[in-house]
Chains A and B, each alone.
Chain A
Amino acid sequence: MTMSKASTSFGNQLDAFDRKALGKLSRTEERGIEQNVRRRKRNSFLLVVPLLAFLLVTFFAPIGSMLFRSLYSPTVQGLIPQTIQRLDDWDQASPPPAATLKTLAVELKDLALSHKEGELGSAVNQVMPGTASVFKMTGRRIRNADLAGMSDPQAAQWLTDANPDWGNVKLWQAIAEAGRVYTARNYMKAAGFDFVGGTFSQSNTASVYQVLYVKTLGIALSITVLCMLLGYPLAYYLAKAPSKTANALMILVLLPFWTSLLVRTTSWIALLQTDGVVNTVLMGLGLIDTPLNLLYTRFATVIAMTHILLPFMVLPLYSVMRGIDPSYMRAAISMGSPPMQAFFRVFFPLTLSGLGAGTLLVFIISIGYYITPALVGGSDGQMISNIIAFNIQSTSNWGLAAALGSILLAIILLLYWVYDRLVGAGNLKLG
């Protein structure tokens, strides 16, 4: 059926080319054909425009704005613009001049009066942890300070009296850094650089985020390998079974596939919790005396996600294996090949496209998972998505969350590109 489509389109082109080559067409006729082709292309394109435009506005623009967020942090600049302007000329080596301290004091007082000093504090704290308290403590006292009547040195003195940290060069370096509107510091942080002495330098220990990415990749890899080990033999068995049996057994694969993610996560909670089904059965059989700690572990994340993603491995493998002519194997065996060897040298290579599709699909999906690790993973079973969510919802560090998200997105796009090369994104099969 695809053949007929391809041959008609090829035939049309050939026709036009032939006639053109034979010189049977006049200039105007040629132009007419070209116009016709262009018009048809435009008409086809017009059909996809509504969806493309919709996705551009509702999907791509939001992702783009998030990527932009990872490099753009206007908060501090917006809160204390004059101080940041003064800090532009500062040498970053000795404490800034008294005039700068007074400018900050004035701006900080304004912020404190509208209860915004905490916002400034947490923004600077994101660059250099441990500095938020300075802003909070000073903010509390500065509301009633009469700064207008003070000279620059007096105001500077007042600030350092309120909190001696205002004399500390490091705090000012952090403010200057936080005042940069366009910055790569979120990526530096994600890559394991600490802010020390006015610049970012490689941290002695691997950063939490590096550890987290490695852990996420490790979890995704375990899930993928498990899916492969469980899925390949199952798909092989189903593909070799008679149609009727295979169709009936496929229901056992498709039903979980169609069951809500939250239902399946719920069942793993019921199975794995301390007095859950698994522990009850194991204790009933006398295999263990005390319940095992299964829920809220990395093990729980891996097992629940393997269950959720296994159909994504079985379905492409099954459809590829069904299409392999059994006579290939029979031929190999009848020519004297041992069955195992025939399997590995004839059958297995033919299934590589399905295996590649399933593997990449499972890996791509698992690497960005959020819900299941959040519910069953505990602290050890958390993945990068959970930390991104944490940075958005709990610490409001949007810039860092966006940077972590961009890195994750880059990894996924790379894998997707590989998938498209190997399988063709358009050949994605459903059910």
Chain B
Amino acid sequence: MTALSVVAGLQDRFGEYVLKLFSWMVLLFLILPVLVIIPLSFNAEPFFTFTPSMLRLDPDAYSLKWYAAIFESQNWILAIKNSFFIGIVSTLLATVLGTVAAVGLAREDMPFRRFITAAILSPMIVPLIIVAAGMFFFYSRFDLVATYTGIIIAHTALGAPFVVITVTASLQGFDQSLYKAGLSLGAPPLKVYRDVVLPVIRPGLISGALFAFVTSFDEIVLVLFLAGPQQQTVPRQMFSGLRESISPTILAVATLLIITSVIFLVSLEFLRRRAEHAKTSGRGDE
């Protein structure tokens, strides 16, 4: 080994360490702001920050009172109920519309595919403030502002593209000849869809539905414009809380939402693994 190559080797090593250190710092930048909320939500004082006694780990500095405050507040209860109601109904609608469209888009003989895909995905791209302003103008003409219907259809429009994307992705590996084989064996098309196509797209369908639900559950701009006092949702309640009086109740809600997103993440990961497993085991001879 020449001296030069030793130096080069050391440089490589050094470069690797720098990369590793830098990557870990970025990872901490990503995760710490999320985690910092959790201990803060147990603050006994009405502050948004660590008190000296919290840092001393004094048990008296910690309390569950902000969690209790959520369930004592009519506003938060209504907001939670609304978020689930609006989320579930719009997810169901988005899943049905999105799945049917994705099945169509995946067919070989689909005309204007590029244009239609762009149109269907555009709710993900157009800034929400523009959508919100437009919907406010337009929905007010049909008395849909400050109604559940208005918000549900608005959220359905936002959620459907996610279903289209995930279902299309799961259909990408689908061999159309299976569908044709089903037909040629004499099964009616709907039965073929139920027994052959549906099992293949189920993971995509469920993860699309999860995306649609989370989109609705986390959506705030449209709610700010379209909702009346009766349609208060969790994000809107948080938004007004952050603007007016910063109370640690928001931190407690945030912690609950973090737990919810962990659950979502785990279920999606589970679905992804299952989809991959289904693909590899179903096509072992490829």
Chain A interface (Cβ within 8 Å of chain B)?
1-2, 4-5, 8-9, 37, 40-41, 44-48, 50-52, 54-55, 58-66, 69, 230-231, 233-234, 236-238, 249, 251-256, 258-271, 273, 275-277, 280, 307, 310-311, 338-339, 364, 367-371, 375, 385, 388-389, 392, 398, 401-402, 405, 408-409, 412-413, 416, 420, 425-426, 428, 430-431
Kindly state whether residue B134 has any CB partner on chain A within 8 Å. yes
A428 and B121 contacting across the interface, CB-CB below 8 Å: yes
The bracket for how many chain B residues form the interface is 35 or more
B34 and A66 contacting across the interface, CB-CB below 8 Å: no
Residues of A within 8 A of B225 (CB): 392
* A217-B238 Cα distance, complex, nearest whole Å: 28
A375 and B242 contacting across the interface, CB-CB below 8 Å: yes
A48 and B242 contacting across the interface, CB-CB below 8 Å: no
* A402-B119 Cα distance, complex, nearest whole Å: 21
Per-position binary interface string of chain B over residues 41-71, scored 1 when its CB falls under 8 Å from any chain A CB and 0 otherwise: 0000001111000000000000000000000
Kindly state whether residue B250 has any CB partner on chain A within 8 Å. yes
Residues of B within 8 A of A368 (CB): 126-130
In this complex, the member of A40, A59, A311 whose beta carbon has the largest number of chain B beta carbons within 10 angstroms is A59
* A238-B177 Cα distance, complex, nearest whole Å: 38
Residue of B nearest to A376 (CB): B242
* Choice from B22, B111, B156, B157 contacting A45 with Cβ under 8 Å: B111
Residues of B within 8 A of A385 (CB): 127, 129
* A65-B268 Cα distance, complex, nearest whole Å: 38
Residues of A within 8 A of B156 (CB): 54, 58
Q: Could you list 21 A-B pairs, sorted by A, with CB under 8 Å?
A: A2-B173, A37-B109, A40-B109, A47-B103, A48-B104, A48-B120, A51-B160, A58-B157, A59-B123, A234-B22, A236-B19, A252-B30, A253-B30, A259-B257, A262-B220, A262-B238, A263-B37, A263-B258, A267-B34, A273-B49, A409-B130
A388 and B19 contacting across the interface, CB-CB below 8 Å: no
A430 and B138 contacting across the interface, CB-CB below 8 Å: no
* A265-B251 Cα distance, complex, nearest whole Å: 11
* A61-B138 Cα distance, complex, nearest whole Å: 8
* Choice from B114, B131, B283 contacting A63 with Cβ under 8 Å: B131
Q: A62-B139, A270-B40 are in contact. Are A234 and B261 (CB under 8 A)?
A: no
* A59-B129 Cα distance, complex, nearest whole Å: 13
Per-position binary interface string of chain B over residues 154-194, scored 1 when its CB falls under 8 Å from any chain A CB and 0 otherwise: 10110010101110100011111100000000000000000
Residues of B within 8 A of A408 (CB): 127, 130
B130 and A65 contacting across the interface, CB-CB below 8 Å: no
Residues of B within 8 A of A273 (CB): 48-49
Residues of B within 8 A of A430 (CB): 162, 165-166, 207, 211
Per-position binary interface string of chain B over residues 204-224, scored 1 when its CB falls under 8 Å from any chain A CB and 0 otherwise: 000100010010011011000
* Choice from B100, B125, B165, B257 contacting A416 with Cβ under 8 Å: B125
Residues of A within 8 A of B48 (CB): 269-270, 273, 276
Q: Which 3 A-B pairs have the closest CB atoms?
A: A368-B127, A47-B104, A62-B134
* Choice from A44, A69, A234, A426 contacting B137 with Cβ under 8 Å: A69
A256 and B101 contacting across the interface, CB-CB below 8 Å: no
Residues of B within 8 A of A230 (CB): 26, 29
A255 and B262 contacting across the interface, CB-CB below 8 Å: yes
Q: How far is the CB of A362 from chain B (nearest CB, A)?
A: 13
Q: A58-B153, A270-B36, A371-B221 are in contact. Are A41 and B23 (CB under 8 A)?
A: no
A425 and B118 contacting across the interface, CB-CB below 8 Å: yes
Residue of A nearest to B129 (CB): A385
Residues of B within 8 A of A41 (CB): 109-111
* A8-B120 Cα distance, complex, nearest whole Å: 27
Residues of B within 8 A of A60 (CB): 119
* A275-B52 Cα distance, complex, nearest whole Å: 12
* A54-B103 Cα distance, complex, nearest whole Å: 17
B157 and A420 contacting across the interface, CB-CB below 8 Å: no
B127 and A1 contacting across the interface, CB-CB below 8 Å: no
